[in-house]
Amino acid sequence: MILKLIQFSLIKIILADQLANLYNTINNPQLYDKKLRPHDKIKAAEVNVSFYIQSFDSLQESTMDYRLTMFLRMFWVDPRLTFFIPKEDCLTKANCSSDVKMEQLTVHSDVLKAIWKPDLFFSNEKEGSPHKIITENALIRIREDGLVYVSIRLTVVAACRMYLNHFPMDVQVCNLRAESFGYNTNDVQFHWTDTQTPPLDLQDDLQMPQFKLVGHQTAVCDKVYTSGTYTCIEAKFILKREIGYYLIQIYVPSFLLVILSWVSFWISIEATPARISLGITTVLTISSMRNGAAMSLPKVSYIKAIDIWLSFCMVLVFAAVLEYAIANYLYRQSDGILARNSRRLKKGHCNLVSKYLKNCRTLRKRKATKKEYTNGSAPKINGSMNGSVYCANYSAHYDSPSYFNTKLNGNANIHSQDHSHFDLHHQVPKNSTASRAEDEDDELADALYYRHLSKKIEKESRVLFPFIFTAFCLCYWIYYMVWSNELQTWLDDENTIKYKVSEDRN
C-alpha cells in the first residue's frame, strides 16, 4: 500500500515535470521556433485533414454560395513536442515497451498560437470566421510522440458554381477546397485521414429547406501556379433540390391558369367583355409568375427548365386570346372587308365570264353568216347565253343563301327564287330588282360562311389546345424526371458515399 502511494506520488511529480518541460519548450524561442515547420529541410510535413459538418444551410441561387458550420480537424507530427508520461508499468521511457499505449495531453487553446500549424485556407471561401463564444472553440491535444491534434469550429460561406439548366429539377454539386497558401508540395502535403475516423463526417440530422443531401465525395486537387505546385484536397457535396415548393407555387397554379384560359372557348363569341377579361387576366398572371421566379435567380444567358414551362404556358394563354380575336373578327364579317373582297372577286370573275361569252356569241354570228352564204339559208340560233345570265346562274348555284345554308346549317333553305332555268335571250338589267335581291342573297351567304368559320375555329380550339398542352406536359416531365436524371449519374459513381439519415430522426 505504501509502495503504491510512493509510486503514484512519483508519477505525479514526473508528469508535472514533463508538462513544465513541454511548456518551457514551446515558450522558449531557442528550443522551439513556430516559424519553422516540422522536419524542416528533411522531408515534407504530412498533415491529415478531416471535416465534420455540423450544419448545412440552403444554397442561395442569386449569389451562388452556401453556408456551413464545421469542425476542421488536423493532425501532424512535430518531433520537437515529444515528451514522456510515466505509467504504472514503467516509470521511465527506457523501461516501457513499444506496445504500451501512448498518452496524450489536452492543453489550452492558447498553445495553438505558440506552435507551428499548417497555413490551410479554403480557396472558394467568401466569408469565414472561427467561433469564440464563450471562449475560442479550439481543441488541441499533444501525444507523447509529438503528434498534434487540432479541432477548430468554423462557419464558412463558400462559393458554389451552379448550373441551372434543369432548375428546379436540378442536382447541384458544391465543393469545399482546402489548400496550403505558402508551402508548396515539397514542404507541406495535405491528405484525407485514412484512419477509423472518416475523412468527411456529417451529422445525422442535417436538414435544408430546399435541398436534400444525398451523398458526398473526397478528392485530391493539387493546384499548379506560377510559383509552384501546392497541395489541395476537396470535398464535394451532392445536393438534390426538393421540387415541392415550386410545384405548389408555380407549376400547379400555372397549370390551372392554362386550363382556365380554355373556358373562354365555351363562352359565347358575342360576350366580348367576359372573354377579353378572362384572357388578359391569365396572361398577366402568368407574366407575374415569370417575373417572380426570375427575381430569385441569377441572370444567366441559358434557358432553364422553369423558363420553358412558363414560356409555353404564356404562349398558350396568349394564343387563346389571339384565337378569340380571330374568331370574333370572322364572326363580324357580314359587311366587313373580307366579305366585300369576296364579292368583289366573284364580281370580277363574272365580268370575265360575261366578256368571254360575248366574244363567243359574236363568233357564232360570224360562223352563221358564213354558213348562210354557203348553204343559202340563214341559221336559226335558238339562243346564246349572255354573260349576265351566266353570272346569275353562277351566283344562284354557288353563292346563293340556299347553297351556303344547306352546306353550313343543315336543312334550312332560305333561297326563294328558282334559278334552274334561264331565258337565254333575256338580259338582266344592272339596276333591276332581281339584281338587288341577288346582291342581298350574296351578302347573307357571306355572313353565314364567316360565322360558320368562326364557330368552327372555336370548336377545333376546344380539342387542339388541350391536346397540345397534354403532349407538352408528357414530354416535359418525362425528359426532366427520367431521361436527364443527373442524380443517378452521381449515385452510380463508385467514389460517392451516400448520406444515410439516422433512423431515430424525428
Of 242, 270, 304, which closes a domain? 242
Owner of C-alpha cell 515535470? 17
| Structure-block grid coordinates of residue 58 | 440552403
Which residues are CB-contacts of 333 (< 8 A; sequence separation ≥ 6)? 339, 446, 447, 450, 451
Q: Angle at CA 338, nearest 5°, toward 335 and 343?
A: 75
| Structure-block grid coordinates of residue 470 | 397534354
Taking phi over 0 as left and psi of -120 to 50 as alpha, with beta for the rest, 155 belongs to beta
What value does the mean pLDDT take over residues 313-325?
95
d(C-alpha 190, C-alpha 192), whole Å? 7
118 and 149 inside one domain: yes
Residue 115 contacts residue 148 (beta carbons within 8 Å): yes
- pLDDT of 347 above 70: no
- Report if residue 450 sits inside a domain: no
> Can you say how many angstroms the Cα of residue 278 is from the centroid of all Cα atoms in its chain?
29
- Report if residue 478 sits inside a domain: no
Q: What is the structure's pLDDT at 96? A: 59
- Report if residue 40 sits inside a domain: yes
168 and 29 inside one domain: yes
- Report if residue 73 sits inside a domain: yes
Task: Classify 68 as helix, strand or coil.
Answer: strand
- pLDDT of 253 above 60: yes
Mean pLDDT score across all residues of the chain:
79
Task: Classify 467 as helix, strand or coil.
Answer: helix
- pLDDT of 6 above 80: no
208 and 289 inside one domain: no
Q: What is the pTM of this model?
A: 0.72
Residue 217 contacts residue 226 (beta carbons within 8 Å): no
Q: What is the structure's pLDDT at 414? A: 37
- Report if residue 495 sits inside a domain: no
Owner of C-alpha cell 407555387? 249
First-to-last C-alpha distance (Å) of the chain: 54
Of 242, 268, 291, which closes a domain? 242
141 and 279 inside one domain: no
The domain total for the chain is 2
**pLDDT by residue (tens digit) across 386-410?**
444 444 454 444 444 444 444 444 4
**pLDDT by residue (tens digit) across 104-160?**
788 888 889 899 999 999 999 999 999 998 889 999 999 888 999 999 999 999 999
Q: What is the structure's pLDDT at 445? A: 66
49 and 79 inside one domain: yes
When comparing pLDDT for 172 and 2, which is higher?
172
Distances (CA, A) of 289 to 246, 264, 282: 11, 21, 11
277 and 204 inside one domain: no
141 and 267 inside one domain: no
Q: Burial code of 142-161, b = ≥16 C-beta within 10 A, e = fewer? A: bbbeebbbbbbbbbbbbbbe
- pLDDT of 305 above 80: yes
Of 242, 257, 273, which closes a domain? 242
57 and 6 inside one domain: yes
- Report if residue 432 sits inside a domain: no
Q: Which segment of 74-83, 215-224, 256-265, 486-495 scores lowest on mean pLDDT?
A: 486-495
Our separate counts of H helices and E strands in the chain read 10, 15
Residue 227 contacts residue 234 (beta carbons within 8 Å): no
| Structure-block grid coordinates of residue 33 | 521556433
Residue 496 contacts residue 217 (beta carbons within 8 Å): yes
- Report if residue 30 sits inside a domain: yes
230 and 302 inside one domain: no
Residue 35 lies in domain: 2-242
90 and 207 inside one domain: yes
* CATH number for 191: 2.70.170.10
207 and 275 inside one domain: no
d(C-alpha 278, C-alpha 323), whole Å? 13
- Report if residue 150 sits inside a domain: yes
Q: What is the structure's pLDDT at 493? A: 84
**pLDDT by residue (tens digit) across 442-457?**
555 666 777 888 889 9
Q: What is the structure's pLDDT at 333? A: 74
231 and 279 inside one domain: no
